[in-house]
Structure 1
Amino acid sequence: MAKAKDVMKDLEKWRIKESDVFSKKVTKASKLASVELQRKINRRVDGPVNFTKNAVGFSFRYDQNGSRNRIFIKDKQADYLAPLIDDNKGINKFVPTGVRGSKNKFGNIPNLKSRNNLEAVKQKKDGVTRTILIKTNVKKQDRRLIAVFKKNQHRRKTLGSWNQISDDIFKTVKRVAGTK
């Protein structure tokens, strides 16, 4: 129930009133545009985790000249989301096989960086050599294979280009703030 109260408080805080001055309307519209961008990212990314759900930042500052509003993608999240927006160059990565214990609740392979109890092995299967990742402390054969190394995997550009994203933000701000 506490979440519903927090949401209602946020809605009331960012609601645009007729008595608001123009700069305040633009600030509130910009905040709503940043929330809309975050929702768009959450919808388009396959299985977003909390790290991805917290990618969009918003800051504003009032001074004697008016207001300054900034919508941005946070640094670490920008590194992760950049291939989904900017370019579509191939990436090399281990793809989890789906065996129980091969992924944690965030969809990542545990201990991949430290390689604790993991070993990369070259395997020849059907005349093709591939690199696989096995768990060395598991005895059962069907649970040892954790991931297969894939080269030049292309991610789908799900979020569009930066120009398209900024155009969407401008349209939202103009629509919500009531400017033409």
Structure 2
Amino acid sequence: MEDVLIDIEQWLRAGVGWAGPALAIAALLESLVVVGAVVPATPVLVAIGGVMAAGHAPPTLLAWAAAGAFAGNWTSFELGAAARRRNLRLPSRLGDQVGQVTEGLFARYGPAAIIVGRFLGPAASVAPFAAGWSAMRRSRFLLANAATCILWPSVMASLGYFGVEAILAL
């Protein structure tokens, strides 16, 4: 574990000028529907939290991650809304029931579904698209997106931070 932290620390030191923008791009890509399934920024945030515990990464990196995630989520939402306007349907094997359940989920839970979805792995990139496709109001989505993009990097980095603190305490 210590070797991994040293490697990440060296990477951050070598590229301090571009670490923030690189993290923003990774968070943006992780937040895009479909692309998010193959671009994981969450483990990087956990590792950065560990490096922050050692005092070698600035907390401003979390703001970069939040900005990237916000842009990616909003893009996915708008793609979902555009799909709805074009009357695109889900693949027939999924059936109309999935569409009805999705619309019901966002009608009933709206912002909470966005916030919880961010922490559920692959759902993080699908939830904003589904919200747009389900005709969730843009204002409700943007509020939930802002809250999510503040919580997500903070929570993920905290896991790494306190994990390293616990390991160092042993």
Q: TM-score, normalised by structure 1?
A: 0.27
Query: Higher helix share goes to which structure?
Result: 2
Q: TM-score, normalised by structure 2?
A: 0.28
Query: Higher strand share goes to which structure?
Result: 1
Highest RCO, 1 vs 2 (Cα 8 Å, sep ≥ 6): 2
